């Protein structure tokens, strides 16, 4: 009697083990979903860095090409004034 039922029992045990590994083991479905989220976050970070790199590359090209960009940067960031120029600072009126 047991000889007829041991094959389905063994198959059910194997199926249970495979299901356990699928849901709770290494490289399971939850692990896959977590990795998918990590890949998406990394792709967003890479896109942001690529955009930043493009802006930096444009700044480098501007600095290599013309002196006007260097002068503009020196005026804005360092507050430099040419010889013979007069510097005027206009302050906004107080809102009292």
pLDDT digits (tens, 9 = 90+) for 35-66: 999 999 999 999 999 999 999 998 888 778 87
Between residues 49 and 71, the one the model is more confident about? 49
Say what the pLDDT of residue 1 is. Answer: 56
Q: Which helix (H) or strand (E) holds 4?
A: helix 2-24
Q: Taking all residues of the chain, what is their mean pLDDT, rounded to a whole number?
A: 84
Within-domain flag for 84:
no
Number of domains observed in the structure of the chain: 1
Say what the pLDDT of residue 94 is. Answer: 78
Within-domain flag for 90:
no
Give the rounded percent of residues in the chain with a pLDDT score beyond 70: 95
Within-domain flag for 93:
no
Helix ranges (DSSP H) in 66-94: 67-73
Within-domain flag for 23:
yes
Angle between helices 29-65 and 2-24 (to 10 degrees): 20
Say what the pLDDT of residue 70 is. Answer: 77
27 pLDDT more than 90: no
Domain span at residue 41 reads: 2-78
Say what the pLDDT of residue 41 is. Answer: 96
CA count, 13 A, side-chain hemisphere, 85:
9
Please give the average per-residue pLDDT across 4-14, as a whole number. 84
Say what the pLDDT of residue 69 is. Answer: 74
């Amino acid at each position: 009697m047991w000889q007829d039922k041991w094959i389905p029992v063994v198959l059910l045990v194997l199926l249970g083990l495979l299901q356990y590994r699928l849901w709770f083991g290494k490289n399971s479905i939850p692990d896959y979903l977590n990795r998918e989220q990590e890949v998406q976050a990394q792709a967003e970070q890479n896109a942001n860095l690529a955009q930043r790199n493009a802006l930096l590359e444009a700044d480098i090209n501007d600095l290599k090409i013309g002196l006007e960009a260097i002068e503009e940067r020196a005026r804005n960031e360092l507050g430099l004034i040419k010889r013979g120029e007069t510097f005027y600072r206009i302050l906004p009126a107080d809102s009292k």
